[in-house]
Amino acid sequence: MLEARLQTGALLKKILEAVKELVTDANFDCSDNGIALQAMDNSHVALVALLLRHDGFEPYRCDRSLALGVNLVSLSKILRCAGNDDIITLKADDNADVLSLTFENTDNDRISEYELKLMDIDSEHLGIPETSYDAVVQMSSSELLRICRDLQSISDSVLIDVTKEGIKFAAKGELGTGSVTLKQSASVDKEDEATLIELQQNVSLNFSLKYLVNFTKATPLSSRVSLSISSEVPLLVEYKMEAGYIRYYLAPKIGEDN
Amino acid sequence: MSVEMQQRICIGPKVSQNSENPISILLPNPSSGLPSRYIIQEGRLFEMQVVDTEGLRSWFVGDTVQSDGSLYITTPIDPVFMFIPILDIMRQKTIDSEGRFLTIDTIFESDQYTSLRHLSQLHKIELSLALVCEVRGSSIMKTFRLDDDKTMKWLKQKVELIVNKFESVPALVESIAYTESLPEVCRKEAIVQSALRLVSAYLSDSWDAKLAAEYQFPELDKMQSRTQLLSISDFGKRSGMDLDEDFKADKEIKKPKMSVGQKKLAKASAGMKPISSFFAKKTA
């Protein structure tokens, strides 16, 4: 059986917000390691991989590996009933057909209990190889959010250019063009806003802005985000959390001139 | 020393009672180049594998509990595998020159891995080096330089060695179980291929590629093109069957309801390759 108690319910709420637009149904794979989720979007061009390590829960117990098939929209509906400061406990028996959720509010001694019906989902896990990327850019997550939103008004896709000087996001559409460049910076006093680039070689790739905007729904989870880019392989957008991560992979757009 | 002695559970080779203490050192892994843990004892080299339990398990030792529940396994490794990448770098081969001859001391000198010098103390080090090196100089002052042909010959001998012993290792035989229904030629090729992969696991990418180029598997390739065979080296990780068919089947079973946002995304996905063309499927 699974029993996992999360001190800050807000975390789970934010995670659901970060994946539910991209994925409809998915398995939460619970093991003694923690809770993981891997799923492709409906068009199979993007992949989200989520991990909540066991040490993020107190206590965490999972005797046997379980796959909990969940409709993410339904789960987020239930989580909307939880307060941000609530302690959330997830429970499921082996072979259970429901996931039970308990929200405890210590301030006013309120306990609410919900059960979510589970479903059988045939999920195929993709093996993601260890890749050494041509460019890894660490930057402020809210900056990425703003850039993607801004450029979306220009075009559907963005050309990301990384050189040792900086990272440039450029869009070209019917109404005109637009671009945002972030210089590699070492602003010591504002660590959260620094843009750090590890570069093996320059890269220049096209990505769908709609998808990127969708990934930035994870912005509340972390003040930092890393973009790992190599030509010919999917872009990796990673938000690290205290005990885990959420990673998005997106296939580059091909056959599009700028 | 002020370092506290830690107790660990380890499966290792038998050593005599009065043998010296093992030296534990970090060396560059011959395949990845990343630092890995190795043990030297009695002039022999061992590699260490850890079954890491990430602090979730413990051991009972007699009447006590030991909190570190990891299992350490040390197995002998042919030091020549370690030498090849080191020699490869140290000879500084260029297009014009075959590179430098070096003494044992200089070969194992590294600022990054100071423990490399321990390798020079290994038993019969000169003989091991001579297996893959051209040797020059007198018996007092011998110098070595990696020889590509010798190395390739040595690697091929390693593959052959595994091929000869293949049938005596149940785990290996099991790994090519898929060939049972296939003709004998295929099985023979599968054995060589499997042995090749075992050796390759200890090689850098460049040597791996060179060695692989020496072998051809015409029968297996023919089979592969007809049906997708399970790949053998990726223990546990298997490539799926026909990808497209899986997708089609999925769609027929159910069409998930899409939210507005998802419909927008579906439109935006034009011009992109499916993610499964980058990442291979594996069965859970």
Q: Which candidate from B234, B265, B278 shows the least CB-CB separation from A233?
A: B278
Q: Are A14 and A79 within one domain?
A: yes
Q: Do A42 and B258 touch (CB under 8 A)?
A: yes
Query: For residue A194, is it within any domain?
Result: yes
Give residue-wise pLDDT tens across range B112-124: 788 888 888 888 8
Task: Give A139's Cβ-side CA count (13 Å radius).
Answer: 25
Q: Are A102 and A150 within one domain?
A: no
Query: For residue A175, is it within any domain?
Result: yes
A117, A152, A173 — which closes off a domain? Answer: A117
Query: For residue A12, is it within any domain?
Result: yes
Q: Are A190 and A240 within one domain?
A: yes
Q: Are A13 and A94 within one domain?
A: yes
- pLDDT given for residue B106 in this prediction: 85
Q: Are A98 and A144 within one domain?
A: no
Give residue-wise pLDDT tens across range B18-52: 777 788 888 888 888 888 889 888 888 999 888 88
Question: Dihedral sign, CA of A37, A38, A44, A46?
Answer: positive
B264 CB within 8 Å of a chain A CB = yes
Residues A126/B276, Cβ–Cβ less than 8 Å: yes
Per-residue pLDDT, averaged over B86-109, amounts to 84
Give residue-wise pLDDT tens across range A149-202: 999 999 999 999 999 889 999 999 999 999 999 998 766 667 778 899 999 999
Q: Are A144 and A84 within one domain?
A: no
Q: Are A243 and A183 within one domain?
A: yes
Q: Do B275 and A123 touch (CB under 8 A)?
A: no
Q: Are A228 and A140 within one domain?
A: yes
A107: nearest Cα among A81, A79, A86, A84: A86
Smallest CA–CA separation between A191 and chain B, in Å? 29
Q: If you ran DSSP here, which 8-state letter would residue A207 be given?
A: E
Query: For residue A56, is it within any domain?
Result: yes
Question: What domain range includes position A108?
Answer: 2-117
Query: For residue A113, is it within any domain?
Result: yes
The per-residue pLDDT string of chain A (258 residues; one tens digit each, 9 = 90 and over) reads 899 999 988 999 999 999 998 998 999 999 999 999 999 988 889 999 999 999 999 899 998 889 999 999 999 999 999 988 999 999 999 888 999 999 999 888 899 999 999 998 887 788 888 889 999 999 999 999 999 999 999 999 999 999 988 999 999 999 999 999 999 876 666 777 889 999 999 999 999 999 999 999 999 999 999 999 998 899 999 999 999 999 999 999 876 544
Phi-psi region of B245 (alpha: psi -120 to 50; beta: other; left: phi over 0): alpha
Question: Dihedral sign, CA of B217, B221, B223, B228?
Answer: positive
A85, A117, A149 — which closes off a domain? Answer: A117
A73, A91, A117 — which closes off a domain? Answer: A117
Q: Are A152 and A229 within one domain?
A: yes
Query: For residue A124, is it within any domain?
Result: no
Instruction: Quote the CA–CA distance of A143 and A150 in Å, as a whole number.
Output: 10
Q: Which candidate from A29, A40, A214 shows the least CB-CB separation from B275?
A: A40
- pLDDT given for residue A95 in this prediction: 83
Instruction: Quote the CA–CA distance of B148 and B214 in Å, as a whole number.
Output: 13
Give burial (CB, 10 Å; 0-12/13-18/19+) of B149.
exposed
Q: Are A109 and A151 within one domain?
A: no
B62 CB within 8 Å of a chain A CB = no
Predicted ipTM of the assembly: 0.73
Q: Are A51 and A144 within one domain?
A: no
Quickly count: other Cβ atoms within 10 Å of residue A53's Cβ.
Answer: 17
Query: For residue A127, is it within any domain?
Result: no
Q: Are A53 and A144 within one domain?
A: no
Query: For residue A255, is it within any domain?
Result: no
Instruction: Show the beta-strand stretches assigned E in A106-186.
Output: 110-117, 125-127, 135-140, 157-162, 166-172, 177-183
A244: domain CATH number is: 3.70.10.10
Domains and CATH numbers, chain B: 19-146 (2.20.25.530), 149-221 (no CATH)
What pTM was estimated for this model as a whole?
0.54
- pLDDT given for residue B241 in this prediction: 38
Chain A residues touching residue B233 (CB < 8 angstroms): none
Domain count, chain A: 2
Q: Do B278 and A234 touch (CB under 8 A)?
A: yes
